[in-house]
Structure formats: structure tokens, C-alpha cells
């Protein structure tokens, strides 16, 4: 008798996701203790030795609620029981610009980057199809363009660290069923029901309202839209990367090199430059990029554009310069 169908589905997703990694690359599961990452941890502990790979786990203690250290200890203990080695907790400080969600995300990824580099590992993240649907809706609300509608990529890099999302084609119902079948007790993060967070409101109010109005299958349709747009977005991003390299001089952008570009490429160059200058990607919206574009295509002597994160863009002497202000 084989494993429960949900368990088999999560294991199959992990097996496929790690198949293209260089031989012997260790795996590191980012596990919050929730159902998605817990199911991922169990599947990775099962699949990694069969693929000839070492597998560990890390949980990030954001310190945002009372008892977070105890929760982290419990998650570490569970990961060890599953067979992940090493299994560790990393405490971080959440602060900085861009709101609590962006600050927590920055701190979390910095901790994961450090753990992955110590082990030379690829990091596995537990984002699911439902997370992808939420991301697409948030992108629509921000008006951030095709890149946001393409959602979260299944594979990406932060510097020299490779990140993989094996579960993007599976929904939360599957991961919860997998945990139940394996006798695992997920931790329910209170923040996941706090309406102060935008993503929580999308999850518990917006998506249910859309399904009530349009019928079932909205998350699946949104995730499918993301897959269809990803190839287009990646092709445009590649063009923008080359255009940025050609336009950049001494930390500034040459206006003449940008003026003749297709708008889809030019705005990507501008967005990339703004983010590199310190404007948080999560709060840099289309309206900000549009104002940057006006400095290139409809300049009438306007002095500057203010961007999230205290970044200011100036056009002077045929160049676009970004500065971050210290308050």
C-alpha cells in the first residue's frame, strides 16, 4: 500500500524540483512550522537521501510575538525528528522601512541567505498555489505590471544562493492533508489571521468573495495566469538587464540610452535602478515607475521624483541619478 495521495503529491513535487540541481547539492528547508512548510520538510527528509543529498532545516524566529522562541524550538525538534540535519533556529530583528511585512521579509531572507551559504545549500520554500494566487491579486492591486502578475518564480537566486519553490502547483488543502496523514501538528501563526496584514485580508476576504461571485477555481486560474505570463516577463527582464548595462555609467543612467527603448523594457530598467538604489520592491508601484519614466520621455525641467524608501531620482545633464536620503 502506497502513501496517502497528499503525501505522495508533496513528495513528487519535491522530487521534480530538486532533480535539476547539481549533483550532491545539499538542501535546506525553510520551515515556519505551518502546514505548507511542515509538509515540505517531511517530503524533503524522505526524498533527499533517495537522491543522494544531505538535507537540513532552518526556522526563523522574527521575535514579533510572545513565545516565539518556544515555537522555534518546537519546529527545530520536529525537523530533527523528521530526519533533517542540521536543524536550527535563527533569531532576527525586524525593523526598517517599507512596513512590517516587508521588514520581516528582508530579515527572513537575510537569515536564510546566511544559513544557506554556511552549508552551501539550495533553499526550499513552502509557498503554494494559494500563495501564488494571493501574490497575483496583490500585484493587480498595486498595478505593478506583468512581473507582478507573473507571481513568484519557482526558482530564483539571491546572490549566490538558489531558492526553489516546489509546491507552487499544490494548494493548501493538499499540504494540510499531508500533515494529517503523517501525524504532524502544524503551528498556526496568529499573524496569518490578523487583518492588519494586507495578505491576510486578501486570503480571508478577497479570494472568498471572488469565488462566491465568480465560482470555484479562482486561485487555480490566477496561478495559471502567473505561469502563462512568466515566460514573457522573463524575456523582457533579460532585455532590460542588457539595456541597463548599456545605459549605466558611474552609478547613473544615460537618458539618451533609454529614450529609444520600448516602454516595457525602459520601465523595467528604471524599476531595477530604483530598487538597487534602496527603494523597496514591495512598495515601489507602477505610479512611481511612471513618474520616473516622465523624467525620460516627458521631461519639462521637473526637479526630481520621490520614491518609497527615501529614494529620490534626479535628471541632470542628460543623466538620471538616484540618491537615498537619510532622515
Quick check: 327 pLDDT over 60?
Answer: no
Q: Which of 169, 186, 192 is nearest to 38 (CA)?
A: 186
Query: What span, in angstroms and rounded, lies between the C-alpha atoms of 150 and 49?
Result: 33
Q: Helix, strand or coil for residue 278?
A: coil
Question: What mean pLDDT value characterizes the chain?
Answer: 92
Alpha helices (runs of H) in the chain, residue ranges in sequence order? 5-18, 35-50, 68-82, 99-119, 129-142, 146-149, 172-182, 198-201, 207-214, 218-247, 255-259, 263-276, 286-297
Local structure of residue 20 (DSSP, 8 states): T
Contact at 8 Å (CB) between 252 and 278? no
Q: Using one digit for the tens of pLDDT, what is the confidence trace for 38-95?
A: 999 999 999 999 999 999 999 999 877 888 899 999 999 999 999 999 999 998 888 8
Q: Using one digit for the tens of pLDDT, what is the confidence trace for 259-276?
A: 999 999 999 999 999 999
Q: In the chain, where are the structural domains located? A: 5-211, 250-324
pTM score: 0.81
Scored b (16 or more CB within 10 A) or e, 196-235 reads: ebbbbebbeebbeebeeeeeeebbeebbbbbeebbeebee
Which pLDDT score is estimated for 326? 62
Q: Which of 106, 102, 55 is nearest to 82 (CA)?
A: 55
Average pLDDT rounded to a whole number, residues 95-123 = 88
CATH topology of domain 250-324: 3.30.465
Quick check: 189 pLDDT over 90?
Answer: no
Nine-digit cell at 300?
519639462
Which pLDDT score is estimated for 174? 98
Contact at 8 Å (CB) between 138 and 202? yes
Identical fold at 5-211 and 250-324? no
CB atoms within 10 A of CB 277: 18
The CATH class, in words, for 5-211 is alpha beta
Q: Using one digit for the tens of pLDDT, what is the confidence trace for 223-251?
A: 999 998 888 888 998 999 999 999 999 88
Looking at the DSSP assignment, which residues form a beta bridge with residue 60? 90
Amino acid at each position: 500500500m502506497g502513501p496517502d495521495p497528499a503525501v505522495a503529491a508533496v513528495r513528487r513535487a519535491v522530487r521534480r524540483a530538486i532533480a535539476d540541481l547539481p549533483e550532491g547539492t545539499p538542501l535546506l528547508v525553510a520551515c515556519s512550522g505551518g502546514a505548507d512548510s511542515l509538509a515540505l520538510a517531511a517530503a524533503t527528509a524522505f526524498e533527499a537521501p533517495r537522491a543522494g543529498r544531505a538535507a537540513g532545516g532552518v526556522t526563523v524566529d522574527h521575535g514579533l510575538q510572545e513565545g516565539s522562541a518556544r515555537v522555534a524550538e518546537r519546529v527545530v525538534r520536529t525537523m530533527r525528528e523528521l530526519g533533517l540535519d542540521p536543524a536550527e533556529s535563527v533569531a532576527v530583528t525586524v525593523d526598517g522601512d517599507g512596513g512590517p511585512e516587508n521588514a520581516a521579509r528582508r530579515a527572513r531572507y537575510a537569515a536564510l541567505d546566511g544559513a544557506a551559504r554556511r552549508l552551501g545549500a539550495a533553499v526550499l520554500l513552502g509557498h503554494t498555489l494559494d500563495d501564488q494566487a494571493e501574490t497575483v491579486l496583490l500585484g493587480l492591486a498595486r498595478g505593478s505590471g506583468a512581473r507582478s502578475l507573473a507571481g513568484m518564480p519557482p526558482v530564483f537566486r539571491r546572490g549566490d544562493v538558489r531558492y526553489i519553490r516546489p509546491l507552487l502547483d499544490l494548494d493548501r488543502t493538499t499540504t494540510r492533508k499531508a500533515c494529517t496523514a503523517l501525524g504532524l501538528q502544524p503551528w498556526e501563526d496568529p499573524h496569518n489571521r490578523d487583518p492588519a496584514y494586507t495578505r491576510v485580508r486578501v486570503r480571508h476576504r478577497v479570494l472568498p468573495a471572488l469565488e462566491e461571485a465568480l465560482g470555484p477555481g479562482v486561485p487555480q486560474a490566477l496561478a495559471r495566469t502567473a505561469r502563462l505570463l512568466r515566460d514573457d516577463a522573463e524575456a523582457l527582464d533579460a532585455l532590460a538587464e542588457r539595456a541597463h548595462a548599456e545605459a549605466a555609467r558611474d552609478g547613473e543612467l544615460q537618458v539618451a540610452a533609454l529614450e529609444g527603448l520600448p516602454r516595457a523594457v525602459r520601465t523595467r530598467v528604471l524599476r531595477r535602478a530604483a530598487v538597487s538604489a534602496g527603494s523597496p520592491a514591495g512598495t515601489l508601484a507602477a505610479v512611481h515607475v511612471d513618474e520616473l519614466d516622465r523624467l525620460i520621455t516627458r521631461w519639462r525641467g521637473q526637479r526630481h521624483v520621490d520614491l518609497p524608501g527615501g529614494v529620490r531620482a534626479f535628471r541632470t545633464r542628460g543623466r538620471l541619478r538616484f540618491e537615498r536620503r537619510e532622515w
